[in-house]
Amino acid sequence: MGRYIMGRLVQSLFLLIGVSMLTFAIIQMAPGGFAQMVGENPDATAEDTARLTALWGLDDPIHVQYLRWAAQMVQGNFGNSLAQGRPIAQMIGERLPATIFLNIIGLLLIYVIALPIGIYSAVKQYSKFDHTMTFLAFLGQAMPAFFFAMLLIYYVGMQVEGIPLAGMATIGVEWGEVPFMTWLADRSRYLIMPLSVIVFGGLAGLVRFMRASMLDVIHQDYVRTARAKGLSERVVVFKHTVRNALLPIVTSLGFAFSGLLGGSVVIESIFAWPGVGLLAIQAIFTRDYPVIMAFNLIGSIMLVIGMLVADILYVVVDPRIKY
Amino acid sequence: MATAQPKVQGAAVGMSPKEETFWQLVWYRFRRHKMAMVSVAILLLLYFVAIAAPLLAPHDPMEVGVGPRFAPPSWEFPAGTDRLGRDLFSRILFGARISLSVGFVAAGVSMTIGTIVGAIAGYFGGIVDEVLMRICEVIMAIPTFFLLLTVVAVFERSMLNIMLVIGFTTWPSAARLVRGQFLSLREMDYVEAARSIGAKGGRIVAQHILPNTMAPIIVSTTLRVGGAILTESGLSFLGIGVTNPASWGTLLEIGRHTMQFAIWMVTIPGTLIFITVLAFNYIGDGLRDALDPQLK
């Protein structure tokens, strides 16, 4: 087990080195680069451009530039934003809690709602409930999240009083400054819209996945044996089937989290949720390359950690797998 | 003897009227999937409309002031008009050309690269396989949407570039699919037989292995078309998609700002994206059932 985890850690490290190289390479393909952006400034003279090129080491060979950048990254120094001039680590650090807050609640709700539906669908395969849910899941997978968000804003948000359509909190309602219940009520109101869209977006896929995984297990011989020896349906389903059917779902958790991170770019920009997604889209518009590079790296670090945790969990929860 | 023979022939005729090819069987099974057939009809209509857009559009999609501003859908303007009094019906017809072709080209690029890389990795195995699969893993380790946004930020946002970017960021999953198929097929007895009678590598791949990987490739391509349309509309919605002429996603993005009094500017393009993606998913589902009945 220890050796397995070590092996996977080393593998993840190489993966992240690959990611940093790819990200660096894509940004290098940008026409012009930093120095030329200064050149677009009408007040900048040729000397200014040359001075900045020398200052930033832009005339060094490409591998020297990469290594210099990578060495900074390893030390946790993501550099400064071109647009705001502030340290990127600080900018992302400020925004991360809002995104994680939204996504963790979203992820929890998705699993709490989707798993029972998937399980029940599979147990009652081809029933009216199963057909309806499968159909709805199919519709859900084809529905663009932003279109769903627009419809929700128009038909619910604009009709019902007291549902905020943008932001995360009312100004002045801060933790510790108002009674806890007031704080909780305020945060909950702001969560309604973005959370509904996140949950809607993740639900369909997971229901189908859970149902398929359940059906795989339910047709196994040992489930038939359990039935044959007269165990109650409840014991067969919950003790023998669900526990095994949940194994592949555990693996999906790692991907689910980083998937939400990408999806929250759209949701945060619709609801002006002050998280990293909103920052990412601003960076794209201003071509703030250092910020974009930092995003790719942080995104992949989260994905790689997610996969690593999922793999280890898989070994822990499934005694059939030994390393 | 003379009397028995027609009987036998008659029985044979009753069982299978004529030699059925693989594709006839597929078509026969596909036809039974009602939703998939409905989807084919809807998509044929949409593609016809997209191709014939210049003939069908009542107005120039860019012409300002052909009607009042923000006119709701009516007989004169079936999809209403926008902030500048442009005819939305015409804009949607021309937008169909963008949205529908982005899907096909992006899925084509993704699947072509994926199939070539996957075939090379799966057929040669060993160090070639190792290197190619590590490259796939690196690309897949960046959250897809972030990778997309990065590339979009770097390159010019033309229609062709958007298609290529979606294709270039999604091929690794296709490569893994094809590689898996190749790995198992390459060990099959009939491939060994072909090799033993002296068939060259290229011939084995093209004649013996590739045709047998067609079923998952076709299904995956169909689903990718829907996925690419969804991705393009997502980029457009963020304001970084195809804008000239406007794709359905861009039309929706324009409409969202005046949603309070012109909701049709959101619902009509949005519903069209939804229906198109749904249709491709249903066709993919139908094809999976038809191509490989064991898969279900």
CB contact under 8 A, B135 and A18: yes
Residue count of chain B:
296
> Which whole number is the average pLDDT over B181-200?
88
The answer to whether position B116 is within a domain reads yes
A–B CB contacts, 8 A cutoff, strictly below: 123
Q: Which residues of B touch A304 (CB under 8 A)?
A: 141
**Is pLDDT above 80 for B85?**
no
ipTM: 0.86
Q: Is B117 within the bounds of a domain?
A: yes
Higher pLDDT, B183 or A61: B183
Q: Is the Cα dihedral B1, B4, B10, B16 positive or negative? A: negative
Higher pLDDT, B146 or A257: B146
Neighboring chain B residues of A293 at a CB cutoff of 8 Å = 150
- Full-model pTM: 0.87
- Contact B150/A30, CB-based, under 8 Å? no
**A263/B contact by beta carbon, under 8 A:** yes
Question: DSSP class of residue B72?
Answer: P
**Both tokens assigned to A278:** 């909103």
Nearest CA among B86, B144, B25 for reference residue B265: B86
Cβ–Cβ below 8 Å for B273 and A144: yes
| pLDDT range class, residue A39, cuts 50, 70, 90 | low
Q: Is residue B14 part of a domain?
A: no
Beta strands per DSSP E along A192-242: none
Pick the residue with more confidence: B166 or A178?
A: B166
CB contact under 8 A, A18 and B143: no
**Predicted confidence band at B152 (pLDDT cuts at 50, 70, 90)?**
confident
Instruction: Please name every residue paired with A87 in a beta bridge, in sequence order, or none if there are none.
Output: A80
Counted residue by residue, chain A has a size of 323
Residue B257 domain-assigned (yes or no): yes
Task: List Cα–Cα distances, A270 to A10, A305, B242, B249, in angstroms.
Answer: 39, 28, 19, 14
Domain membership flag for residue B83: no
DSSP states of B235-282:
HHHTT-S-TTTTPHHHHHHHHHTTTTT-THHHHHHHHHHHHHHHHHHH
| 3-class state of residue B81 by DSSP | strand
Counting the structural domains of chain B, the total is: 1
Q: Which residue has the higher pLDDT, A252 or B256?
A: B256
**Lowest mean per-residue pLDDT among A9-23, A84-98, A140-154, A245-259:** A245-259
Task: With CB atoms and an 8 Å threshold, state whether B144 touches A262.
Answer: yes
For an interface test with A, which of B33, B134, B138 has the most A Cβ atoms less than 10 Å from its Cβ? B138
Residue B219: pLDDT above 50?
A: yes
How far is residue A225's CA from residue A237's CA, in Å, rounded to a whole number?
Answer: 13
Residue-wise pLDDT tens digits, A52-70: 777 766 777 788 888 888 8
Q: What is the CATH number of the domain that holds B171?
A: 1.10.3720.10
A123: Cβ–Cβ under 8 A, 6 or more apart, which residues? A214, A218, A237
Question: Which pLDDT value is given to residue A265?
Answer: 85
**Element (H or E) spanning A68, and its range?**
helix A62-74
Whether the pLDDT of residue A13 is over 80: the answer is: yes
Distance of CA A203 to the CA centre of its chain: 14
Question: Which one, of A58, A62, A90, lies nearest residue A77 by Cα?
Answer: A90
What average pLDDT does chain A have? 84
Among A27, A141, A269, beta carbon nearest to B154: A27
B115-144 CB burial, b ≥16 within 10 A, e <16 = bebbbbbbbeeeeebeebbebbbbbbbbbb
Q: Chain B within 8 Å of A280 (Cβ-Cβ)?
A: yes
What is the per-residue pLDDT for A23? 87
Q: How far, CA to CA in Å, does A236 sit from each of A221, A224, A242?
A: 12, 9, 9
Q: Which CATH number fits domain A93-317: 2.30.110.10, 2.130.10.10, 3.30.420.310, 1.10.3720.10?
A: 1.10.3720.10
Q: Which pLDDT value is given to residue B129?
A: 93
Q: What digits encode the pLDDT tens for the residues B263-278?
A: 888 999 999 999 999 9
Per-domain residue ranges of chain A: 2-74, 93-317
Omega into B245 within 30° of 0, i.e. cis? Answer: yes
Contact status of A259 with chain B (Cβ, < 8 Å)? yes
Residue B278 lies in a domain: yes
Domain extent for B217: 32-46+88-291
The CA–CA distances, whole Å, from B21 to B25, B31, B269 equal 7, 16, 41
The CA-atom distances, in angstroms, between A123 and each of A82, A212, A252, B46, B101 are: 56, 11, 21, 39, 41
Q: Alpha-carbon distance B130 to B117, whole Å?
A: 12
Cβ–Cβ contact A8 with B under 8 A: no
